[in-house]
Structure 1
Amino acid sequence: MASTTHNRTTPPTTPPDGASRGPLAARISLGKVFTPVPSEFVLISSAALLLTAFGLVMVLSATSATSTAAGLGPFDTLVKQAVFATIGIPLMFVLSRFPVSFWKKIAWPVLIGATFLQLLVFVPGIGIENDGNRNWISIAGQQAQPSEFLKLTLALWLGLVLFRKRSLLTKWQHVFIPVVPVGGLVIATVMAGGDLGTTMILVLILLAALFFSGVKLRLFIIPLLAAVATVAVLAIRSPNRMARIMSFLDPNCIADYLETCYQPLHGVWSLASGGIFGLGLGNSREKYAWLPAAAHDYIFAIVGEELGLIGCIVALGLFALFAVGAFHVVRKTDDAFVRIAAGAITVWIVGQALINIGVVLRVFPVLGVPLPFMSQGGTALLSVLMACGVLLSFARTLPVKTPAVAAI
């Protein structure tokens, strides 16, 4: 009888199913959302958001006048770019929640899918040719550049393949198979369209993946020679590319001013006219149809003209902030797949930014490579933001340093 009384008066230790467990489960789920993230996550995401916002402002400034002159609204180009930013930024944070195992599983399928999209540029009625390059598609009135997605998918695929063969990479056979045949085939789909700039970035991604996989430097000789030979063949076969290279080698570039020298010279003049503080946001003169591709490949020239040296330093500082966070992920991770894929993605984005700025400064010939985050182009912006989502996913795997609490 005493035992029965005790059971009636003692409260249950486990709450019954219902309302009492609901709030606890909700608090646990909410706690997972607000779990502390490594500093690398903050650096990468902050730099990506600031560069995207910076780019939207500069795209508006570079296109408002020409859009109005063409009979469109001054915000027409900005709205189109902002749509991709509105899609890409949430998608970046959604992708950051996926585990590393997910990226390993989809590496092969997404590469195949992106290659199939790239092959559509050669389908009559779908593929679009522009300035001698056949690297765009148009479906239901919407244009896209499939090769931008090849950059991310190739980095993931290289990370998976080299991760699986990491114990065999001391032998050249395992280094080059299947990396060179498959990677070469993917790059060839872009080369066939005549896009030398994107081809160079894809080769850069491949070389970066080999480097971060720990392959011996002597094994880089063949890929480097193949890359140089490819660029040389593409340049020789195209009179337009040879003319651009020759104009780059001419320090004055006056003899052919109205042709291949026109854009490089106006890009330099745009930067030079900005001085230290710039002409003021929206006050560019070169954007009034003087500088071709002002909102595309030469957006950095408009930054220098309107915001001056200070604006250029801010842009470079944001890219440096991104690079620090991304390379910290490469350095701190213990997962070979994360190191290789993150290294390839980082070299792609930072390297492409340096190449674009180098073209504006006439350090390199005109290559047609956009400035990541900032140049006009929805596909390019979306692919870079997705790549940042992958980097953020990798950053979440790093240990979080919590401040020590002093004992009382």
Structure 2
Amino acid sequence: MGGLLPRLVGLGPAGGDGLPVRLSNRTYAGTRQGPVRELGFDQPLLWVAVALMAWGLVMVYSASIALPDNPRFANYAHTHFVVRHGFSILIGLVTALMAFQFPLRTWEKLAPWLFAVALLMLVLVLIPVIGKGVNGARRWIPLGIMNFQPSELAKLAVLLYAADYMVRKMDVKERFFRAVAPMAVAVGVVGMLLLAEPDMGAFMVIVVIAMGILFLGGVNARMFFLMALVVVGAFAVMVMTSEFRRQRVFAYLDPWSMEHALGKGYQLSHSLIAFGRGEIFGVGLGGSVEKLHWLPEAHTDFLLAVIGEEFGLIGVLVVISLFLWLTRRIMHIGRQAIALDQVFAGLVAQGVGLWMGFQAFINIGVNLGALPTKGLTLPLMSYGGSAILLELTALAIVLRVDYENRQLMKGGRS
């Protein structure tokens, strides 16, 4: 009996080093204790981002496959846009992998320099011999392998600079002129350069990122709401003093009128037709009619309309749910970092959450006709090399924040 008991509990020579587990009706074996594997970063966040990118790649192909039938794109192959988009994703993944290697303290040191580089590129893009103009807007710098959009770099640069700024001004955050005014001037300079392109959509995203970080950093609530009123008033003035923007707003209010249906309301009216055709379950992948030269920019700003037509209400709800989950997860990582006294890292992560969430909200609202038409892509999904590159870099920084959080919670160093 003395020899049998050790074998039953897995301590004798016939057993392992754990308790017995029944493998069949006749045999028993001891369970072995192995090392517990801990994930180094938030894998669900990574896989949701990958799922959005993969779905976006498929939809870019579906939305752009008929574009070469248009004389404007007659020299392009049917796979032109999807190949370029896939190449942009590949470059973005490599850049993201490199960005993940840098500790947050390195990003904190680089923040002012990156902001200066973004300002320089925003100036360079306005120079005719350097910047590339398309449809009356000068937003791109040709770099051979892709047309780089400085406004996308400006989003990340302002985000990092605002987080670094709040950490440096933490002791005077209750004083308006010492805490808020310098940041407002910096954002104002960026805004003037963006409006000169013009790119009001990117400016709106940057303002939301900067104001969000100031608020989350602890700026006095009364000052914040006063600043918000000033910003809303400034945007209202910009709309009312610009004939082009004013027409867009009126077209959004009544896209079906004879005056707007073939003008500023053309994109919105055909986007709504696409959602209507999709109904609940959609017409099936590749079955969209609106992408056949009816809906302009179907592979960029209005990709969601093609998703709505081919996957129906179910597909649209899945996209919205994924972005809600993504934003909530990123904000949680930021709150966790702040709780661990990593204020810069936490503000950066929450800034990325504001960026992804607000831009997705605007794009979805525009596609559904709930907001005036604005040239903002759907993050991680729409065609656009610069956007994908910077969005993946931002997500890599968030994963780095989560990685350092886990290191700190295990008692190590970030």
If the TM-score is normalised by the length of the shorter chain, which range does it land in? 0.7 to 0.9
**Which of 36, 39, 49 is 1:36 aligned to?**
39
Once the two structures are superposed, what CA deviation does each residue of 1:203-249 show, in whole Å capped at 9, x if it has no partner?
A: 11111111110112101134223322331232233212111101122
Distance in 1, matches of 2:132 and 2:220, equals 41
Distance in 1, matches of 2:361 and 2:178, equals 32
Distance in 2, matches of 1:240 and 1:210, equals 32
For the pair 1:331 / 2:335, whether they are aligned, the reply is yes
* Higher RCO by CA contacts (8 Å cutoff, separation 6 or greater): 1
The alignment partner of 2:269 has SS state of helix
Match in the other structure for 2:51: 50
The alignment partner of 2:406 has SS state of coil
For the pair 1:354 / 2:361, whether they are aligned, the reply is yes
Match in the other structure for 1:242: 246
The alignment partner of 1:396 has SS state of helix
Distance in 1, matches of 2:145 and 2:407, equals 46
Residues 2-401 of structure 1 aligned to structure 2 (within 5 Å): 36-38=39-41, 41-67=42-68, 69=70, 70-140=74-144, 142-250=146-254, 252-333=256-337, 334=340, 335-399=342-406
Shift of 1:300: 0.2
Distance in 2, matches of 1:216 and 1:392, equals 30
Distance in 2, matches of 1:192 and 1:227, equals 18
The alignment partner of 1:277 has SS state of coil
Asked if the contact 1:209/1:343 (under 8 Å) is kept, the reply is: yes
Distance in 2, matches of 1:192 and 1:226, equals 21
Distance in 2, matches of 1:259 and 1:63, equals 22
Distance in 1, matches of 2:257 and 2:332, equals 41
Shift of 1:144: 1.8
The alignment partner of 2:358 has SS state of helix
| Range with bigger deviation, 163-172 or 244-253 | 244-253
The alignment partner of 1:214 has SS state of coil
Shift of 1:139: 4.2
Shift of 1:349: 1.0
Q: How many residues align?
A: 369
Letter in 2 for 1:46: W
Task: State the TM-score, normalizing by the size of structure 2.
Answer: 0.84
Letter in 1 for 2:351: A
| Range with bigger deviation, 156-165 or 70-79 | 70-79
Asked if the contact 2:254/2:260 (under 8 Å) is kept, the reply is: no
| Range with bigger deviation, 355-364 or 225-234 | 225-234
Match in the other structure for 2:7: none
Shift of 1:340: 1.6
Shift of 1:345: 1.4
| Range with bigger deviation, 235-244 or 206-215 | 235-244
Distance in 1, matches of 2:253 and 2:46, equals 39
Once the two structures are superposed, what CA deviation does each residue of 1:96-142 show, in whole Å capped at 9, x if it has no partner?
A: 23211111110011111111111112112222233333222224584
The alignment partner of 1:344 has SS state of helix
Distance in 2, matches of 1:401 and 1:67, equals 53
Deviant stretches of 4+, over 6 Å: 400-403
Letter in 1 for 2:59: M
Distance in 2, matches of 1:128 and 1:87, equals 21
Asked if the contact 2:255/2:261 (under 8 Å) is kept, the reply is: no
Distance in 2, matches of 1:60 and 1:170, equals 50
Asked if the contact 1:213/1:340 (under 8 Å) is kept, the reply is: yes
| Range with bigger deviation, 151-160 or 342-351 | 342-351
5+ residue gaps, structure 2, are 1-34
User: Structure 2 vs 1, CA of residues 402 and 161 (structure 1 numbering), >3 Å: closer, same or farther?
Assistant: closer
Q: Report sequence identity in percent.
A: 33
5+ residue gaps, structure 1, are 1-30, 404-408
CA RMSD of aligned residues (A): 2.1
Distance in 2, matches of 1:357 and 1:207, equals 22
Match in the other structure for 1:4: none
Shift of 1:288: 0.6
The alignment partner of 1:136 has SS state of strand
Shift of 1:165: 1.4
| Range with bigger deviation, 266-275 or 91-100 | 91-100
Asked if the contact 1:43/1:322 (under 8 Å) is kept, the reply is: no
Distance in 2, matches of 1:81 and 1:252, equals 33
Asked if the contact 1:152/1:383 (under 8 Å) is kept, the reply is: yes
User: Structure 2 vs 1, CA of residues 224 and 356 (structure 1 numbering), >3 Å: closer, same or farther?
Assistant: same
Distance in 2, matches of 1:233 and 1:141, equals 39
User: Structure 2 vs 1, CA of residues 117 and 139 (structure 1 numbering), >3 Å: closer, same or farther?
Assistant: same
Asked if the contact 1:196/1:231 (under 8 Å) is kept, the reply is: no
Shift of 1:166: 1.2
Asked if the contact 2:147/2:385 (under 8 Å) is kept, the reply is: no
Asked if the contact 1:268/1:301 (under 8 Å) is kept, the reply is: yes
Once the two structures are superposed, what CA deviation does each residue of 1:293-343 show, in whole Å capped at 9, x if it has no partner?
A: 100100000000011112112212221221122011122113111222211
Asked if the contact 2:328/2:353 (under 8 Å) is kept, the reply is: no
The alignment partner of 1:184 has SS state of helix
User: Structure 2 vs 1, CA of residues 324 and 142 (structure 1 numbering), >3 Å: closer, same or farther?
Assistant: closer
The alignment partner of 2:405 has SS state of coil
